[in-house]
Amino acid sequence: MKYFFAIIYIITTVAINAQETHKRTLKLMGSRFDITVVANNKTEADTYIDIAVTEISRIEKLISSWDENSQTSKINRNAGIKAVHVDKELFDLIERAIQISKLTDGAFDISYASMDRIWKFDGSVTKMPTPENIKASVAKVGYQHIILDKEKQTVFLKIKGMKIGFGAIGKGYAADKAKQLLKQKGVQAGIINASGDMNTWGTQTNGDQWKVGITNPMNKNNVFALLPISERAVVTSGNYEKYIMINGKRYSHIIDPRTGYPSSGIVSVSVFAPSAELADALATSVFVMGKDVGLNFINQLKGIECIIVDEKGKIVHSTNIDIQDKLKNE
């Protein structure tokens, strides 16, 4: 449902003192992860990063729909058949996802995995599918059909063939959990960057806040916004490398789960929120809602900010964001 491209740069300053900044890049959950920690030495940093990797791998096994032994796969296999008992962690994650679905009026929906794949973004699609095929493609989608029993801790998908998936929030959730665990272990500062799903805590070794520079994907050589970020998450998602053109109009690979039609009008969205999980879900929602509706939606949420680049390269942002450098449309 989402395609990530890193257009956020962490700007760091490494001070010469007792602590150092250490970073490791690796592939987890099928994506690039950059894990940065502030530690006393490399040995200590490696230990902490290993802890984060183990936690992210644990989460992947819990939420993966590709692993037939995962609880998520068991839920999907039993759609329309019976309720499935799951761990509290997975139950709570699904419950939060449903709450976001309600908040966004279905623009975000973890049952998007039920969609028939009638859209291809490899250049083979040159005309719109028929309205009948598009409508049929989302017939099994709908968070309203996910039944939760809090007392029994079970999940039931009412429609046979229905599926849930965590492609839109999974990496954000993993970044949150890795950050939480490292803080519990005594790591005072760091960054978990999960292919554009980024969570930070603490400060740089010189006491300065972490800073993110955001570029316009239409002009990647220029940073148009520089923002301090601490104890916050920022998620950037974009469609500038995965889209189709039909009759001169650009359509994103991000499909509206309510209608089956691709989103259009937006090239990238950066959302700032208290958690990467929430920022992840809202970034998807804004893509689906469109620029005007998406901005109005974000402006109503306390503690949430966003920056949008539309298909013409115009940059807009929510009213509650504080941008240090002057915002420029390139």
Q: For residues 8 and 173, give the distance between their C-alpha atoms in angstroms, rounded to a whole number.
A: 19
Rounded mean pLDDT of the chain? 88
Contacts 24+ apart (CB under 8 A), 72-77: 72/164, 72/165, 72/166, 75/155, 75/157, 75/164, 76/113, 76/157, 76/162, 76/163, 76/164
Rounded-to-5 percentages of helix, strand, coil across the chain? 30, 30, 40
Q: What DSSP string runs through 115-157?
A: S------SS---SPPPHHHHHHHTTT--GGGEEEETTTTEEEE
Q: For residues 15 and 327, give the distance between their C-alpha atoms in angstroms, rounded to a whole number.
A: 29
Query: What pTM does this model have?
Result: 0.88
pLDDT of 312 reads 87
* Three-state DSSP state, 34: strand
Residue 108, pLDDT above cutoff 70: yes
Looking at CATH, the fold of the domain delimited by 1-330 is given as T-fold (3.10.520)
Instruction: For residue 302, give the amino acid letter.
Output: K
50 CB neighbour count, 10 Å cutoff: 12
Q: For residues 75 and 65, give the distance between their C-alpha atoms in angstroms, rounded to a whole number.
A: 9
pLDDT of 168 reads 86
pLDDT digits (tens, 9 = 90+) for 182-227: 999 999 999 999 988 889 999 999 999 898 877 777 766 677 777 8
Contacts of 293 (CB under 8 A, 6+ apart): none
Q: At what angle do helices 88-103 and 42-63 cross, to 10 degrees?
A: 70
Q: What DSSP string runs through 216-229?
A: ETTEEEEEEEEEEE
DSSP assignment letter at 329: -
3-state secondary structure 53-116: HHHHHHHHHHHCCCCCCCHHHHHHHCCCCCCEECCHHHHHHHHHHHHHHHHCCCCCCHHHHHCC
144 CB neighbour count, 10 Å cutoff: 13
Among 22-31, 84-93, 211-220, the minimum mean pLDDT is found in 211-220
Pairing of strands 8-11, 84-85: unpaired
Q: For residues 289 and 266, give the distance between their C-alpha atoms in angstroms, rounded to a whole number.
A: 10
Q: Please compute the mean of the pLDDT values over residues 258-273 and round it to a whole number.
A: 92
Residue 325, pLDDT above cutoff 70: no
